[in-house]
Amino acid sequence: VEEPLPVLTTEELIVYRRKKLQEKKVHIAALASAVLADPENNIKKLKELRSMLMEQDPNVAVIVRKLVMISLMEIFKDITPSYKIRPLTEIEKNMKVRKETQKLREFEEGLVSQYKFYLENLEQCVKDWKQRKLKKSNVISLKAYKGLAEVAVKCLSELLVSLPHFNFHNNIIVLIVPLMNDASKQISEMCCDAVKNLFKQDKLGVASVGVVKVISGLVKSRNYDVRPEVLMTLLHLRIKDVEVKKDAEDIAPKKRFMSYKEKRKNLSRMQRKWKKAEEKLERELLEVEASESTEKKLKLHTEILNVVFLTYFRILKKAQKSPLLPAVLEGLAKFAHLINLEFFDDLLVVLHSLLMSEVLTYRESLHCILSAFHILSGQGDVLNIDPLKFYTHIYKTLFKLHAGATNEDVAIVLQCLDVMLTKRRKQVSQQRALAFIKRLSTLALHVLPNSSIGILATNRTLMHNFPKTDLLLDNESQGSGLYLPELEEPEYCNAQNTALWELHILRRHYHPVVQKFAAHLVAGSPSEGSGALGPELSRRSPSELFEAYSMKEMTFNPQIASVTPRKKGGILRTESFLNEDLRELFHTELRKAAVQGTLDFAKHLNASVS
């Protein structure tokens, strides 16, 4: 007859659980330390550690399984070699090898086997949570499965980024990419961040190819019903023409050759002759290796771009009202200079039709314009196309910018103006430049200080690139016609017949940097003298200035000196904080108040006497 189990109180249960958990932690730590200390001899202890993923004690099962998952992940990251282990052929297995080689083979075979089983355990954990399926043993509740699945996804994400060269990496990609579109926001963000980090660190593009192909297949299989964050990860791909040469040089090993003096000092005549031939051969080998890596990189980048553009063009053609459209337009803006010249005409037509359809939000329309001008600024220079419709659209929608705290769209507007007016200044007429300078000056009155600084910096650049626009600073110049600010066509609004009166208002702006820029523009944007800007302002681009003086963190830049006002004669001495005009107004109002107070007192006195 079995003896009945002792009934424990709540306190005793907590103490028992804490003691049991501590024992398990010590056991996990001992096994992990043994494997890390000597991986080749203790590789079998990975199996014992992995068996703890099936912990059956309901009191500690969840925590123990989570700890084992994390421990195994860190062990594999540490002991995994920097190469892919291939299976041995039958001939290689039957060959006689040295004892050290045989030992290494056994270690590699055991490592791959345990790594494979570990990944299968993680996959099964995620599947059990997705299917809401309880095991027969019923050790873990359904609620606990979500926590286990989150830890499993975290481990898979870490291995995706840390071991892109090792075995089963494609299997991890196939697991992670669908989870980027998971209903759980935490798991989706975890997987998206892992893919972004993989793209950022992948110089050659070997790992990125597989991820991009799986993402493209996922978007197509779900009929374009995926989270926009899935496509936003493609913006972190390292595909730039300028990086090809740089990374090829990084990959090529640096070899130091002996100088002529060193050869004369250390080598005989015959040795110098052999050394010269050897160095020549080594130089040739280095050049071949560098060219091979460059060719491989270009080939992989071409393949990645083909898949990315195929996904983008499918969405533009079949799902124009999809929430994925902003991500597509942003991606086209980034990679537009790499698009094949044959697609330019059709792509510009599609982008213009999207603008005219009025289904886009303001931010989406800005990305659409930015994409069009990126296309025309790269290989599109050879095309004789005047994108007048895009100029007109951004000109008439400039006043739709949000003037409040959510002014991130200004950053995109500044990029658009740089590509449209500065980089294409040879194709821009003077009338168009005058119209944009005038409208931007009016816009600077309505927005936050950092936006005003970025806009005024853009005007400064435009005045340098178009010297004849200084007529806007002369209020005595005569022109033909009347300025029409409500006209939507920048070419025909007669901007040459107006003046930049807005700058005089901005000179009295509460932000000191806005004051400096306004005074600088009024003086004619000089590069020297009292009206010139300091290097901290003149050498920065408009976008950099916009970010530098941002008020996202609710801080004022430059900082305001904290001065405590002192009392003098019962009136606060606030004059020192006011400029001359406000000070004069302040004193006038004080005098009026004093006179009015005297009259009121006299009336009250007369009433009392009567």
First to last CA, the chain: 115
Residue 127's SS3 state is helix
Whether the CB-CB separation of 526 and 460 falls below 8 Å is answered with: no
The answer, as to whether pTM is greater than 0.75, is no
Identify the pLDDT of residue 10. Answer: 79
Whether the CB-CB separation of 202 and 164 falls below 8 Å is answered with: yes
Identify the pLDDT of residue 395. Answer: 93
Distance (Å, whole) CA 115 – CA 121 = 10
- Residue ranges of alpha helices (H) inside 80-98 are 90-94
Whether the CB-CB separation of 60 and 144 falls below 8 Å is answered with: no
Distance (Å, whole) CA 133 – CA 253 = 53
Whether the CB-CB separation of 58 and 144 falls below 8 Å is answered with: no
Distance (Å, whole) CA 163 – CA 201 = 12
Q: How confident is the model at residue 56 (pLDDT cuts 50, 70, 90)?
A: confident
Task: Write the CB contacts of 428 (distance below 8 Å, at least 6 apart in sequence).
Answer: 420, 421, 466
Q: Which residue has the higher pLDDT, 104 or 569?
A: 104
Identify the pLDDT of residue 113. Answer: 92
Identify the pLDDT of residue 3. Answer: 59
Asked if pLDDT for residue 405 goes beyond 90, the answer is: no
Using left for φ > 0, alpha for ψ between -120 and 50, and beta otherwise, residue 349 falls in alpha
Q: Which residue has the higher pLDDT, 590 or 173?
A: 173
- Cα distances from 149 to residues 66, 177, 470, in angstroms, run 9, 15, 65
Structure tokens, 131? 């299917």
Q: Is the peptide bond before 253 cis (omega within 30 degrees of 0)?
A: no
Distance (Å, whole) CA 449 – CA 514 = 7
Q: Which helix (H) or strand (E) holds 568?
A: strand 567-568
Beta-bridge partners for 567: 572
Whether the CB-CB separation of 162 and 77 falls below 8 Å is answered with: yes
Q: In this structure, how many other beta carbons lie within 10 angstroms of the beta carbon of residue 69?
A: 23
Structure tokens, 262? 């060193």
Q: How confident is the model at residue 248 (pLDDT cuts 50, 70, 90)?
A: very low
Whether the CB-CB separation of 205 and 150 falls below 8 Å is answered with: no
Q: Which residue has the higher pLDDT, 194 or 363?
A: 194
Using left for φ > 0, alpha for ψ between -120 and 50, and beta otherwise, residue 345 falls in alpha
Distance (Å, whole) CA 21 – CA 68 = 12
pLDDT digits (tens, 9 = 90+) for 566-609: 554 444 444 444 455 555 655 666 566 655 655 565 555 455 54
What does the DSSP assignment read for 517-548? Answer: HHHHHHTT--SSSTTPPPHHHHTS-HHHHHHH
pLDDT digits (tens, 9 = 90+) for 326-343: 888 888 888 877 777 777
Mean of the per-residue pLDDT values of the chain: 82
Token pair 């003098």 is at which residue?
Answer: 568
Of 379, 231, 243, nearest to 298 (Cα)? Answer: 243
Proportion of the chain above pLDDT 90, given as a percent: 35
Residue 571's SS3 state is strand
Residue 82's SS3 state is coil
Q: Which residue has the higher pLDDT, 278 or 520?
A: 520
Segment 192-210 shows an average pLDDT of: 90
CA atoms within 13 A on the CB side of 558: 9
Q: How confident is the model at residue 245 (pLDDT cuts 50, 70, 90)?
A: very low
Q: How confident is the model at residue 143 (pLDDT cuts 50, 70, 90)?
A: confident
Q: How confident is the model at residue 558 (pLDDT cuts 50, 70, 90)?
A: confident
Q: Which residue has the higher pLDDT, 7 or 175?
A: 175
Q: Which residues of 311-340 are buried (b: 16+ CB within 10 A; e: fewer)?
A: bbbebbeebbebebbbbbbbbbbbbbebbe
What does the DSSP assignment read for 363-405? Answer: HHHHHHHHHHHHHHHTGGGGS----HHHHHHHHHHGGGS--SS
Asked if pLDDT for residue 253 goes beyond 50, the answer is: no
Distance (Å, whole) CA 571 – CA 299 = 77
Q: Which residue has the higher pLDDT, 226 or 321?
A: 226
Identify the pLDDT of residue 541. Answer: 93
Distance (Å, whole) CA 99 – CA 109 = 15
Identify the pLDDT of residue 144. Answer: 81
Identify the pLDDT of residue 138. Answer: 59
Token pair 């050869």 is at which residue?
Answer: 263
Name the residue type at position 274.
W
Identify the pLDDT of residue 323. Answer: 84
Distance (Å, whole) CA 220 – CA 376 = 29
Of 38, 18, 15, nearest to 26 (Cα)? Answer: 18
What does the DSSP assignment read for 416-451? Answer: HHIIIIITTGGGS-HHHHHHHHHHHHHHTTTS-HHH
Name the residue type at position 7.
V
Task: Write the CB contacts of 545 (distance below 8 Å, at least 6 apart in sequence).
Answer: 450, 453, 454, 457, 537
Task: Write the CB contacts of 510 (distance below 8 Å, at least 6 apart in sequence).
Answer: 449
What does the DSSP assignment read for 240-274? Answer: -HHHHHHHHHHHSPP-PPPPHHHHHHH--HHHHHH
Name the residue type at position 70.
I
Q: Which residue has the higher pLDDT, 244 or 355?
A: 355
Structure tokens, 83? 């190469």
Identify the pLDDT of residue 556. Answer: 79
Distance (Å, whole) CA 357 – CA 36 = 62
